[in-house]
Amino acid sequence: MSSTAHRNRRVAGLMAFFVAAMLGLAFASVPLYRVFCQTTGFGGTTQRAEAGQTAPGTTGRMISVRFDANTAPGMGWEFRPVDTTRRVAIGARNLANFYAHNMTDHEIVGRATFNVTPVQAGQYFTKIQCFCFTEQHLSPGQEVTMPVVFYVDPRILDDPDARDISEITLSYTFYPVDQPRSGG
């Protein structure tokens, strides 16, 4: 085999490996980005408490938490916080409720996405329990109250970029989840 043919095969093999590696990286990028955001709070991503984890205990400092609720256009749900603002003790376990009403004549399955602003607070906002962890099924006309159990981690007071935050906004948007149609 000539040296040119050998080099061409080697370059082709390297290119095939490069293409396969880039394809693998493209598929892994979404889960890796999600893990990065959940670990660092990047982009206002909140933290999720581990099973059995409790709030660390109050510091005596208070912070205001504002609740925001939205739905995707045409979803057919009324969705809103029961209380729009609440002052909470940093480190204490808190409960906030959201109201949802399916105003249509058919079941709608929804999933909530969430965000915290300012983004620096995301890594300190920890949810113990949340309706956003699972899909929500609402029958025609059904009304429900959905809880969120959370705390603001006291480590927020040690972060020079976050310790002076006076208000955190927890925002949810519900989107319909496509459900497979039953056979027919």
Q: Which of 17-21, 37-41, 174-178 has the lowest mean pLDDT?
A: 37-41
End-to-end Cα spacing for the chain: 62
The values of phi and psi at residue 118, to 5°, are: -65, 155
Q: In the sheet where 77-81 sits, what is the strand order?
A: 47-48, 125-130, 143-152, 94-102, 77-81
User: For residue 151, what are the CA distances in angstroms to 97, 100, 122?
Assistant: 14, 23, 11
In 3D, which of 135, 131, 159 has the Cα closest to residue 145? Answer: 131
Q: Which of 6-10, 128-132, 158-162, 167-171 has the lowest mean pLDDT?
A: 6-10
Q: What type of residue is 120? A: Q
**In the prediction, which pLDDT does 22 show?**
72
The pLDDT-based confidence of 12 (bands split at 50, 70, 90) is: confident
Q: Which residue has the tokens 């927890």?
A: 170
- The model's pTM is 0.69
CATH class of 44-176: mainly beta
Average pLDDT, the chain: 83
Percent of the chain scoring above 90 in pLDDT: 62
The values of phi and psi at residue 22, to 5°, are: -65, -40
Q: Which residue has the tokens 């962890």?
A: 133
Secondary structure class of 158 (helix, strand, coil): helix
136-166 confidence digits (pLDDT tens):
999 999 999 999 999 999 999 999 999 899 9
pLDDT at 182 over 70: no
The values of phi and psi at residue 21, to 5°, are: -65, -40
The pLDDT-based confidence of 125 (bands split at 50, 70, 90) is: very high
Task: Give Cβ neighbours of residue 139 (< 8 Å, ≥ 6 apart).
Answer: 102, 107
